[in-house]
Amino acid sequence: MSEIPLKRIVRKKDVLKVITSMKAFFRTPFQILDIDGAVIFGDSAATGSTKFPIKAWDEDIGWVAGDREAEVLATVLSYMAKTEHEKKALGAETLEKYKEITLLYDIAERLASCLDVGQVSRLIIDEVIKLVKSDSISVMLLDRETGLLKIIAASGEDFSPKTEMKPGEGIAGSVLMTGKAEIVNDVHSDKRFIPGANKVSSLICAPMKIKDDFVGLINLSCQEPYTYDAEDLKLLTALASQSAVAIENARLYEDLRKTFISTVYGLARAIGQRDPFTGKHTKRVMEFSTAIGREMGLPDKEIQSIQLAAILHDIGKIAIPDEILEKKGQLTESELATFKKHPVIGEELVKDIKQLDHIIPGIRHHHECFNGSGYPDGIGGESISILARIIAVADAFDAMTSDRSYRKGLQRVLALDELKKNAGKQFDAEVVKAFLRVFRKKPELFKET
């Protein structure tokens, strides 16, 4: 236990009150000295008299100097010092617990706002490192279809992401069966242990469960022998149950997102049914747009929007008559006017789907020009959403290079020249630059289909 200097004890309000009232009561002078003999309290008149030790836990922490009355004070101060020490120990322990609670609270908050399984797993690992001593940590998830445990994220050296374990196999598999967290401080004397690439001496394995529903495991281990204790186990178990909920949430969200995306694809395929060309074209525009967005360093969220907007950008063509869409040769003025309605019709089609709100500008404005000469609104520059500016370039390139029933596709270099020529006019020059970089860096995107 860490010491509290006598000086600090004497300064405490309650203690000081006792001392001063005793001073008023005593007939003889006294002094309180700390362990080094320095005077903390009292009369210089007491110098030279007997010294009575003040003890806390059998250890001298100072003296009261004076005559026999001083001995009483020494006894009282000893008792108070002991109480102060106990209080301090209690305080230290409470603080320790409090810090844990704060940390778990903080982790729970961050986990709750995380909706990606991989991200949740990495967050778990980052937090476990701070909480419990370990050389390597892994998060394993139970694949509900195959019934196998799979490492989804890990810290430390050499982990094989392909490691899979069956329930009942190894220590992890055993924890999966029992559903109870375990400490194994000497793995080599445990028959269940299966040696892997990592050197392991001691480990803890905690299940992530929601009620009795098993989500996965958190493993942590030390290369050198280490004695994990009940406190470590308790912390890891607390963290594991928070993590289970977060992972389950992320999974559900992912499911929901997949359902949503496939619905959107379904919608886009509807145009594909009408016009097979548009079907393939949509897929390529989506790929090009995504690549441009990434090249421009846009955040993941924006990339997702770009993908959706690219898939749906031509959805309005559903309402354009076949004879216009498939016409070989020039459109008449009124046909062209009808054709030009497709971005607005597209917006009409998706505007009531709340989850597609944010991509409407990508649909409505994919035929706007950077210099303001496009349609339907004739806006320009950065008033055109970045979604639309990117889709415009991807769309134009694919339209120029594809074979149509009425003409052969342009050579790619010529199409690129065309984009360059129109950079800053029809297209956003930055987007064109990014596209040229994509063309150089990712030839596989541009293979003939």
Partner 1 sequence: MPKVLIVDDEPHIRLLLEQTLEELEDEGVELLIAENGAEALDIIKKEKPEVVFLDVMMPKKNGFEVCHTVKNELGMGDVYIVLLTAKGQEFDKQKGNDVGSDVYLTKPFNPDEIVEIARKILGI
Q: Name the site residues for partner 1 (rule: CB under 8 A).
A: 8, 11, 13, 87-88, 90-92, 94-95, 98-99, 101-102, 105-106
Which one, 4 or 261, has the nearer CB to partner 1? Answer: 4
CA distance 10 to 238: 41
Which one, 100 or 169, has the nearer CB to partner 1? Answer: 100
Closest distance to partner 1 from the beta carbon of 250 (Å): 25
Which one, 2 or 334, has the nearer CB to partner 1? Answer: 2
Which one, 99 or 234, has the nearer CB to partner 1? Answer: 99
Closest distance to partner 1 from the beta carbon of 181 (Å): 25
Closest distance to partner 1 from the beta carbon of 103 (Å): 9
Which one, 9 or 218, has the nearer CB to partner 1? Answer: 9
Closest distance to partner 1 from the beta carbon of 84 (Å): 11
Closest distance to partner 1 from the beta carbon of 102 (Å): 5
Which one, 103 or 183, has the nearer CB to partner 1? Answer: 103
Closest distance to partner 1 from the beta carbon of 121 (Å): 25
How crowded is the C-beta side of 446, counted as CA atoms within 13 Å? 19
- Which residues share a beta bridge with 184? 203
Closest distance to partner 1 from the beta carbon of 94 (Å): 6
Pairing relationship of beta strands 182-184 and 202-210 according to DSSP bridges: antiparallel
How is residue 64 written in tokens?
A: 């009261």
Closest distance to partner 1 from the beta carbon of 91 (Å): 4
Closest distance to partner 1 from the beta carbon of 218 (Å): 24
